[in-house]
């Protein structure tokens, strides 16, 4: 309690305080979100009408690739690491993260990783243009000369994620306050514990995949080149063995956020706490054994297709349990609808829609028609944007008063919610139609029957994009000049250790562990 933060830039460069590092993660991810969003605006502007108007096809491919990479690795993953840094120690009664210096390193290598990645856009040959899934041989033999920067960028980002995950596991398993048993932990802590194990398991697989690419490109190996005895499909198996757990890495912490917000504003305890924990663990386990459902058209044997179809369909069961639990938590509560609650409810509705299309995509014969179409684009934006991004927006509104001791502007928050909600649906709902009618994803241009819905989708995207600037403005104006709040329990129905410390949260919390009954 004795000392406060260091002065000036040293506070941030040499930060070991979990709150400072959490703050840096949050700002970094928001900057990346705006960058990835800018790429999305270029994509939607080009697709506003048929024909090439704004960019060339080769640059369009760089935009789709960079949009995916920046959003997945730069915006969504770091935002949840930032929330974990801020909230996990406060939720389990720990004074800080278990490994503060590694925490500093895992944040500070991120900007370098993304600088490496983004700098390729200004080089001869251009940025990565092979999609965020970078299938070989398009990403090896046929890649632009800048591909090595991409590979090392991914290595750095992966190292950052692994270190962050190790830190979270160490913190949760070692630094819980006396009496805080595993089954008393808030769900946000549980979901992050499970996510961290997923990260430690699969990020090295991604590192392996890009290292094999590096060897193929520069050192004459043929891991992914059939002409040299390799196998391009091997790349896809390795990538999706990483990639499928990766999508749960993105969404599982979101489950934790929603499981914190809905009980607070329903003024009723979370329904089915233990089944939530088991369902999350079940989803994490299943995520390792369903990867090839991304490859139903690759020409697997029939037995393989059937196995991956059945296993994938099973995911609907634990996911359904979660949705039913959230609805039951709201049922017979005493609800109010502040901005975090609005985003949380929108999460439940839209994530469920994304879950339904996920179930449809799991049906292998039907996937023959859905695969690589805009139907898939709609599906994963319903879970990534309305899932992960809506929940992180909800989390920022929910915990911002605790972080800075000032209340955001509720009216502006609600306006931002409605613009986001409407803009999001105008953008992505018509993409279901486009995909079903036969428009493939990653198309720089399209035939005339797709023109109407593409224009609608683009208009929605501009609305959704603009609403994020309002969010930025609301957050900054709250930090600078929001109405002061000082009671520890900012929200009437909030439960948990983070609401027992002073508001704004002091620089050091729980220097002596709290008693947990």
Partner 1 sequence: MVSRAKRLVRGCIGLLAPALLLQAVAARAATEPQEGWGLLNMPKGVTSVSREIHDIHMVVLWICVWIGVAVFAVMFYSMFAHRKSRGHKPATFHESTSVELAWTIIPALILIVMAFPATRTLKELYDTSEADLDIKVTGYQWKWRYDYLGTDVGFMSELATSQDSVYGRAPKTEYYLEEVTEPVVIPVGKKVRFLITAADVIHAWWVPDLAVKRDAIPGFVNETWARADEPGIYRGRCAELCGKDHAFMPIVVNAVPEEEFNAWLAAKQADAAALRELTEKSFTLEELMAKGEEVYGRSCASCHGASGEGIPGAFPGLQGSAIALGPVADHLDVVVNGKPGTAMQAFGAQLSEVDLAAVITYERNAWGNQSEDNIVQPADVFQFKQAR
Which residues are registered as beta bridge partners of 440? 373
222 an active-site residue?
no
Interaction with partner 1 in 355-384: which residues (CB under 8 A)? 356, 359-360, 363-366, 368-369, 371-373
Using CB under 8 A as the binding rule, the residues of this chain from 51 to 70 that contact partner 1 are 51-53, 57-58, 61
* 406 φ, ψ (degrees, to nearest 5): -135, 145
Reference 322, options 256, 276, 372, 370; nearest CA is 276
Which of these, 253, 101, 99, lies nearest to 175 by C-alpha position? Answer: 99
For partner 1 (CB under 8 A), the number of binding residues is: 100
In whole angstroms, what is the distance from residue 431 CA to residue 433 CA? 5
Q: Cβ of residue 448: shortest distance to partner 1, in angstroms?
A: 5
Residue 507: CB minimum distance to partner 1, A? 35
119 in contact with partner 1 (CB under 8 A): no
Q: Yes or no: say if 255 and 480 are a contact pair by the CB < 8 Å rule.
A: no
Cα separation, 263 vs 314, in Å, equals: 27
User: Segment near partner 1 (CB under 8 A), from 14-22, 194-202, 231-239, 389-397?
Assistant: 231-239
C-alpha neighbours within 13 Å on the C-beta side of residue 439:
26
CA torsion, ordered 51, 455, 464, 252, to nearest 10 deg: -80
Q: State the catalytic residue, choosing from 29, 65, 140, 161.
A: 161
How many C-beta atoms lie closer than 10 Å to residue 365's C-beta?
A: 9
* Piece in contact with partner 1 (CB under 8 A), picked from 84-92, 149-157, 203-211, 268-276: 268-276
User: Is residue 125 a contact point for partner 1 (CB under 8 A)?
Assistant: yes
Q: Least distance in Å: CB of 118 to partner 1? A: 17
Pick the catalytic residue: 266, 427, 441, 498? 441
- Examine residue 111 and say whether the peptide bond preceding it is cis (omega within 30 degrees of 0): no
Q: Which of 150, 188, 248, 273 touches partner 1 (CB under 8 A)?
A: 273
Q: Rule CB under 8 A: which of 442-501 touch partner 1?
A: 442-453
Select from 32-40, 184-192, 346-354, 408-416 the region that touches partner 1 (CB under 8 A).
Answer: 346-354
Let me know if 244 is a catalytic residue. Answer: yes
Q: Pick the stretch among 98-106, 206-214, 291-299, 416-424 that binds partner 1 (CB under 8 A).
A: 291-299
- Asked if 392 is an active-site residue, the reply is no
Shortest reach from residue 297's CB to partner 1, in Å: 5
Nearest approach, Cβ of residue 173 and partner 1 (Å): 26
Among 105, 109, 170, 436, binds partner 1 (CB under 8 A): 436
From 269, 418, 476, 507, residue interacting with partner 1 (rule: CB under 8 A): 269
Taking CB under 8 A as the criterion, the residue among 204, 440, 513, 514 binding partner 1 is 440
Helix extents (H) in 47-186: 57-69, 77-92, 100-119, 147-174
- Residue from the set 2, 9, 227, 480 that interacts with partner 1 by CB under 8 A: 227
In whole angstroms, how close is the CB of 332 to partner 1 at the nearest point? Answer: 4
33 CB burial (10 A radius; 0-12, 13-18, 19+): buried
3-state secondary structure of 49: coil
Q: Which residues within the stretch 139-198 sit at the binding site for partner 1 (CB under 8 A)?
A: 141-142, 144-145
Active site residue 319: yes
C-alpha separations of 433 from 180, 390, 460 in Å: 49, 23, 15
Binding mask 314-343 for partner 1 (x = CB under 8 A): x-xx--xx-xx--xxxxxxxxxxx------
- Alpha-carbon distance of 414 to 409, in angstroms, equals 9
Catalytic site residue from 19, 322, 402, 432? 322
**Which positions from 380 to 409 touch partner 1 by CB under 8 A, shown as an x/- string?**
------------------------------
List the one residue out of 265, 464, 280, 419 whose CA is nearest residue 345: 265
Reply yes or no on whether 67 is catalytic: yes
Window of 76-84, 165-173, 306-314, 509-517 that interacts with partner 1 by CB under 8 A: 306-314
Among the options 140, 195, 259, 467, which is catalytic?
Answer: 259
Applying CB under 8 A, the span of 134-142, 167-175, 390-398, 399-407 interacting with partner 1 comes to 134-142
Active site residue 275: no
Cα-to-chain-centroid distance, residue 309: 25
Give dist(CA 273, CA 45) in Å, integer: 45
Cα distance between residue 119 and residue 79, in whole Å: 22
Task: Mark whether 11 is an active-site residue.
Answer: no
Task: Give min distance, CB of 80 to partner 1, in A.
Answer: 25
Rounded CA-CA distance 195/163 in Å is 13
Hunting for tokens 């960019």 — which residue is that?
55
- Tell me, letter by letter, the H, E, C secondary structure of 253-270: HHHHHHHHHHHHHHCCCC
Handedness of CA 441, 446, 449, 452 (dihedral sign): positive
Q: Report, in Å, the least distance between residue 499 CB and partner 1.
A: 17
Binding span for partner 1 by CB under 8 A among 70-78, 88-96, 177-185, 354-362 = 354-362
Taking each helix axis from N to C terminus, what angle separates 451-481 and 410-436, rounded to the nearest 10 degrees?
A: 160
As a whole number of angstroms, the distance between CA 117 and CA 111 comes to: 10
Catalytic positions, written as ranges: 67, 96, 132, 160-161, 244, 246, 248, 259, 293-294, 319, 322, 441
């Amino acid at each position: 309690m004795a000392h406060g933060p260091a002065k000036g830039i040293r506070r941030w460069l040499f930060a070991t305080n979990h709150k400072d590092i959490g703050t840096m993660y949050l700002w970094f991810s928001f900057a990346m979100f705006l960058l990835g969003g800018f790429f999305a605006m270029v994509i939607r502007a080009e697709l506003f009408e048929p024909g090439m108007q704004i960019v060339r096809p080769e640059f369009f491919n760089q935009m789709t690739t960079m949009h995916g990479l920046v959003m997945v690795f730069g915006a969504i993953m770091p935002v949840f690491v930032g929330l974990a840094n801020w909230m996990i120690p406060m939720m389990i009664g720990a004074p800080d993260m278990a490994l503060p210096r590694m925490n500093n390193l895992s944040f500070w290598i991120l900007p370098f990783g993304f600088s490496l990645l983004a700098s390729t856009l200004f080089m001869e040959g251009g940025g990565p243009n092979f999609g965020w899934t970078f299938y070989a041989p398009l990403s090896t033999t046929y890649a632009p000369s800048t591909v090595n920067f991409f590979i090392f960028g991914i290595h750095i980002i992966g190292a950052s994620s692994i270190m962050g995950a190790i830190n979270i596991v160490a913190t949760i398993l070692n630094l819980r306050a006396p009496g805080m048993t595993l089954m008393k932990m808030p769900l946000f802590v549980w979901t992050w514990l499970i996510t961290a194990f997923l990260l430690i398991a699969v990020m090295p697989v991604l590192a392996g995949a890009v290292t094999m690419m590096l060897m193929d490109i520069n050192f004459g190996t043929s891991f992914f080149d059939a002409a040299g005895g390799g196998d391009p499909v091997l790349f896809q198996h390795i990538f999706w063995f990483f990639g499928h757990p990766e999508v749960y890495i993105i969404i599982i912490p979101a489950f934790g956020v929603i499981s914190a917000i809905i009980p607070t504003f329903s003024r009723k305890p979370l329904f089915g706490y233990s089944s939530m924990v088991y369902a999350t663990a079940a989803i994490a386990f299943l995520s390792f054994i369903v990867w090839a459902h991304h490859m139903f058209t690759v020409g697997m044997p029939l037995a393989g297709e059937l196995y991956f179809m059945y296993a994938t369909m099973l995911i609907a069961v634990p996911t359904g349990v979660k949705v039913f639990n959230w609805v039951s938590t709201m049922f017979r509560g005493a609800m109010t609808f502040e901005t975090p609650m609005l985003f949380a409810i929108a999460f439940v509705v839209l994530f469920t829609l994304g879950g339904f299309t996920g179930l449809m995509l799991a049906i292998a014969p039907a996937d023959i028609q859905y695969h690589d179409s805009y139907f898939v684009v709609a599906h994963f934006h319903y879970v990534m944007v309305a899932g992960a991004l809506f929940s992180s927006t909800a989390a920022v509104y929910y915990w911002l008063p605790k972080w800075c001791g000032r209340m955001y502007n509720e009216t502006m928050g609600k306006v931002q919610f409605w613009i986001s909600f409407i803009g999001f649906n105008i953008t992505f709902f018509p993409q279901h139609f486009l995909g079903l009618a036969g428009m493939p994803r990653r198309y720089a241009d399209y035939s005339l029957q797709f023109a109407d819905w593409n224009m609608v989708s683009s208009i929605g995207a501009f609305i959704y994009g603009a609403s994020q600037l309002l969010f930025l403005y609301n957050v900054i104006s709250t930090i600078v000049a929001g109405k002061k709040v000082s009671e520890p329990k900012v929200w009437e129905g909030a439960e948990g250790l983070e609401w027992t410390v002073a508001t704004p949260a002091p620089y050091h919390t729980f220097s002596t562990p709290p008693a947990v009954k």
